[in-house]
Amino acid sequence: MARDRDREPRHNELEDRVIKIRRCAAVVKGGRRFSFNAMVVVGDNKGRVAAGYGKANEVPPAVEKATKDAEEHLKRQKRVSLRGDTIPHRVVGRYGASKVVMVPAGPGTGVKAGPGVRDVLVVAGVRNILTKVHGSANPINLVKATIDGLMQLRTREEVARLRGVQL
């Protein structure tokens, strides 16, 4: 039920997905005090994607803070270079001890990826891709590594312009 809410398009055409909710316990005089951390990914399905992180004493405020943080990051984020429904070339995203290898795939392949990586790629608008994770499988690091890899993507035209050559 809660997962369905995460997939609804927002009024401003942004889609958000909750990646991870973690519970943290602080031991105090009367027992344990719990707080919650939430990781949310927001994208427009057209090549823009960002992640946000929020903390609060209850789950809904933590998710709201994370969503707001992601939407603020989205304003500063550049658009990902896509080629149709896939990426233009192979790329490796890194963050911490996590590495995400992303390889373009043909039509009909779908998104072959694990949970954290899949959510980032779907809200970015990628429909056909193959991925492999090496190193740490921490979902927060995987999300950041995936976004790092997507930011490294370049189209043929961009590379030609950067190098100053004709195709």
* CA–CA distance, 63 with 54 (Å, rounded to integer): 6
The pLDDT, as a whole number, for residue 1 is 47
The pLDDT, as a whole number, for residue 73 is 93
Provide the H-helix boundaries in 13-138.
59-76, 115-124
The pLDDT, as a whole number, for residue 38 is 96
HSE at residue 43, side-chain half, CA atoms within 13 A, is 25
The pLDDT, as a whole number, for residue 4 is 52
The pLDDT, as a whole number, for residue 145 is 96
- Torsion, CA 139, CA 140, CA 144, CA 145, rounded to 10: -40
Domains annotated for the chain, with CATH where assigned, are 2-76 (3.30.160.20), 91-162 (3.30.230.10)
On the 0-12 / 13-18 / 19+ scale of CB atoms within 10 A, 101 is middle
Which SS3 state, helix, strand or coil, does residue 120 take?
Answer: helix
* CA–CA distance, 28 with 72 (Å, rounded to integer): 34
Q: How far lies 139's CA from each of 29, 55, 86, 87, 106, in Å? A: 33, 16, 22, 22, 27
* CA–CA distance, 157 with 82 (Å, rounded to integer): 12
The pLDDT, as a whole number, for residue 156 is 85
**Ramachandran sector of residue 83 (left: φ over 0; alpha: ψ -120 to 50; beta: rest):** beta
14, 49 in Cβ contact below 8 A?
no
Question: What is the pLDDT tens value at each position of the chain, 167 positions in all?
Answer: 455 555 555 456 889 999 999 999 999 999 999 999 999 999 999 889 999 999 999 999 999 999 999 999 999 988 888 888 899 999 999 999 999 999 999 999 999 999 999 999 999 999 999 999 999 999 999 999 999 999 999 888 888 888 988 87
The pLDDT, as a whole number, for residue 28 is 93
